[in-house]
Every structure is written in C-alpha cells, then in structure tokens.
Copies of this chain bind each other. A is one copy, B any other.
Amino acid sequence: MSALTAHLDVPLHHGAPGAARRAVVAVLSGWGLSDQDWLDAAAVVVSELVTNAVRYGGGCVALHVEAQDGRVVVSVADGSPVRPRRRDPDDVGGRGIALIEALAESWTVRHHEGGKQVRVALRQCPGLAPARGVAA
C-alpha cells in the first residue's frame, strides 16, 4: 500500500496551532484513523510543533503528514536552524517536548532549507478501520 501524504503551508500567528491541528485531525480521520484518543494525542503533538515554530521558528512553516502501513509521521519545518531541546520545566514553559515524548513514539530533527524540520512518529493507531484500510 502506497503512502498517503498531506502538506500544508502554515502562516505563523497565534491561531496557527489551532488551525493546524484541526486540519490534521480532519485529514487523519479521512484516512480511516479514527480512534478518538489517538487523534487527541495527534492534535497535541501538532499543537506543540506549531506553537514552537510560532515562538522560535518565524515566518511561514511547512507541515507534512505521512501515513504508511498504519504508521503516521507529522513534521513541521521552520526557518530557524536551532534545534529544540528538552529543558527543565518552570513557570514559563519547558513542557512542549516533554508532552511530545509522552504522547508520541519518537522525534528527530533534520536540516531543511537553511532551517530545520522536526519530525514526530506517532504511536500506532489502535483499531484501524479495516473497511477503509487505506492507511493500513
């Protein structure tokens, strides 16, 4: 089964995390990935990635979603070459990467056109709708 992909340009403003996660959840549901708890976790991951891009990345980011054999990777490319790094949480933050690590499988960073791309592999989605099976 070939991969399903989605790409969206996301201009950065304070409404970007919400718009991005709503778009990604709709896309993933359309791919037959309909477990609500799993979609909720995917929404948090997208929200964290885009929020960090708004805060530290700058400009307009490129969001990609890819599903193959039931594995979904969400990635956000921004214009800053600085790599995110987990830090000790305090009152002004430090919980974004921790949340991604808690809810997803793994994350990696790649160079990308002068900036970087943060890629998060989501956990396997439970109970893939077999009738659709499209992302399976």
Which of A's residues lie within 8 Å of B, judged by CB?
4-11, 13, 15-16, 18-20, 22-23, 26-27, 29-32, 60, 131-132, 134-135
Contacts and interface: CB of A to CB of B under 8 A. Distances in A.
Given A22-B26, A30-B20, A60-B134, A9 B5 contact: yes
A43 to B, nearest CB: 11
Nearest to A134: B11
11 contacts: A7-B8, A8-B27, A8-B30, A11-B135, A13-B32, A13-B134, A19-B29, A20-B26, A23-B23, A23-B26, A26-B26
A27 B32 CA distance: 20
A6 B4 contact: no
